[in-house]
Chains A and B, each alone.
Chain A
Amino acid sequence: MNLRYFVERLGWAAFVLFGSTIVIFAILHVIPGDPARAMLGPEGTPEAVAKLREQLGLDDPLVHQYLLWLGRAIQGDLGRSILLSQSVASLLGERLPITLLLGLYALSFAVLIAIPVSVISATRRGTAIDYGGRFVALIGLAMPSFWLGLMLVLLFGVVLQWLPVFGYVSPRQSAVDHVRHMILPAAALGSAYAAMIMETTRNSLIEVLHQDYVRTARAGGLTETLLLYKYAMRNALIPTITVIGIQIGYLMSGALVVESVFAIPGMGRLLVNAVLSRDYPLVQGAMLVTVLVFSIANLCVDLLYAVIDPRVGKA
């Protein structure tokens, strides 16, 4: 990987991140309506509203407010949550790892299912197995993750009683219980993701398998296994990585709701509760951290390209 490509991608991530801080700030400050009024609800007296406005610095000029917020955010100070009267940064620090673990499990689940299925589908193109696999994938894409989660709870938790249905156990407490609690949420969150990865990988594998170099290798007498895994897969996986990268956003959106289904105390649930109670500092902080994680993930994907395909970034 050359340095220039690396610096370019890093600069791009920094630009997007900076832009997103403006969007986050603008959403909650420029849209008509008084955040202090909204936070206090109908019971808020004019005096209480005025006090909160002062406390939040809402009477200062917008640019001033933005720079102050950004400056503090860079130093790791995201303000205090109104709902939980705790520092937003420490709240997010507690909750983010849980969401990241959930996302990681869902991603692993999706990849472990999608890649083998797409190889089977692509090599048996047009057969009943291919159509069956694709149809199941399409249904996976059409199912809301939270509903799939509930149906999994019904089947594995209530009817079969194999797995716990709600709650979260930290891996430090008990690794086994941690895994048992995360299986259903990861499956619920990862299914639609698996469907997207599968469709892309299958199509790109079919395309690659029709290319000249594969035909030549086959004519040269390579076994189908070697051909598939050593020669075809490497090229076929490039679009797969794109989809995995782009759809991490989908995964993060899904985590918001899946955490609510399984009562997992992650960042998604925290953000939902923050929006429900209009806890603006917490909403801003959670959005900012989400974008940060998403940007880092995208940056990693960009760099991964260059590792897999040495041509990337050379032009």
Chain B
Amino acid sequence: MLDSFFIELRRSPVLALAAALILAAIAIAVLAPVLAPKDPNLQNLRATLAPPSAGFPLGTDEYGRDLLSRMIFGMRNSLIVGAAVVLLSGLIGAVLGISAGYFGGWLDMVVMRLADIMMAFPYLVLALGLIAALGAGIPSTIVALTVAFAPIYVRIVRSKVLVVKEEAYVEAARLIGVRPRTIAVRHVLPNVAGPMLVQGALTFAFAVLAEASLSFVGLGVPPPAASFGNIIAAGRDHIIDAPWIATSSGVAIVALVLSLLILADGLRDAIDPYQHRL
């Protein structure tokens, strides 16, 4: 699968650009303390709401904090939340989806009905309810979004498992007496890895958007820590006199999310190269 992804990468310059942007975003997040020209929380009351200049490449906010530095740390927080949500909801999806799909029976019934009930909530409403109980903060944001996104994973993995478990090689393994848990891990899991990767890229994109939304209304990354969402929230109050505050962070989110959506598309093509191209 990795091979065909590299083939896709060479074939599609758009996908290559998206992949490069994602790598750049990761590099920015990892190297944030080195890359940021200033301390993201350093206030400079003599340079509040300064437009972009040589000293402040993207301008400053109402406390005179350097926006470029805040955006670099905002990228870090976005990626931390996004990656954690993808890993945790993927793990939950794999464990529950494979168990429900492979073993069936009452376990399947309970897990799937639970997923149905969770999906009766608009995802941000469920996340808000959890944050109401847990209190705002990065860990709560991660927990809330994991709970909100995991049911989709469970459904996708389970539906794929239902197909895989009827395959001849799984049946053969069963006939020669391989233990069910070994079959689930060694034969079923690798076959659901592809769809999970695609879903992972999509979840990452939507988790970044959701984190930004929560931070925008003051329930995600708590200030003074920087996040694209709370930078834009600060920019809303100065949309007339300092429009650059809200603008640049929004452009960064769009670039990141767009790249992740394109990556998801590329991964889908790589998994299923014979799929009829629309």
A residues neighboring B (CB under 8 Å) = 15-17, 19-20, 22-24, 27-28, 31, 33, 35, 38, 125, 138-139, 141-147, 150-151, 153-154, 158, 202-203, 206-207, 248-254, 256-257, 260-261, 271-272, 274-276, 278, 280, 283, 287, 290-291, 294-295, 298
**B128, B130, B134, B258: residue with the most chain A Cβ atoms closer than 10 Å:** B128
- For the complex, would chain A's binding face be called helix, strand, loop or mixed by DSSP majority? helix
Q: For B113, give its contact among A19, A142, A143, A207 (CB under 8 Å).
A: A19
Are A20 and B120 in contact, with the CB atoms below 8 A? yes
Contact indicator per residue, chain B 48-84, by CB within 8 Å of chain A (1) or not (0) = 0000000000000000000000000000000000000
Residues of B within 8 A of A146 (CB): 212-213, 216, 232
How many Å lie between the Cα of A151 and that of B236 in the bound state? Answer: 10
Q: For B254, give its contact among A23, A142, A294, A295 (CB under 8 Å).
A: A142
A261 smallest CB distance to B (angstroms): 7
Residues of B within 8 A of A295 (CB): 120
Q: Within 8 Å of chain A (Cβ to Cβ): is B266?
A: no
How many Å lie between the Cα of A54 and that of B9 in the bound state? Answer: 62
How many Å lie between the Cα of A250 and that of B218 in the bound state? Answer: 20
B27-55 residues at the A interface, CB under 8 angstroms:
none
Which A residue's beta carbon lies closest to that of B210?
A253
Q: Within 8 Å of chain A (Cβ to Cβ): is B168?
A: no
30 A/B residue pairs, CB under 8 Å, sorted by A: A15-B113, A16-B116, A16-B117, A17-B120, A23-B117, A28-B133, A35-B133, A125-B278, A139-B258, A142-B254, A142-B257, A144-B209, A144-B212, A144-B250, A146-B216, A146-B232, A147-B212, A150-B239, A150-B250, A154-B239, A154-B246, A207-B278, A252-B122, A252-B125, A256-B124, A256-B125, A256-B213, A276-B218, A290-B125, A298-B120
Are A256 and B128 in contact, with the CB atoms below 8 A? yes
Are A249 and B123 in contact, with the CB atoms below 8 A? yes
Contact indicator per residue, chain B 225-248, by CB within 8 Å of chain A (1) or not (0) = 000010010011001100100110
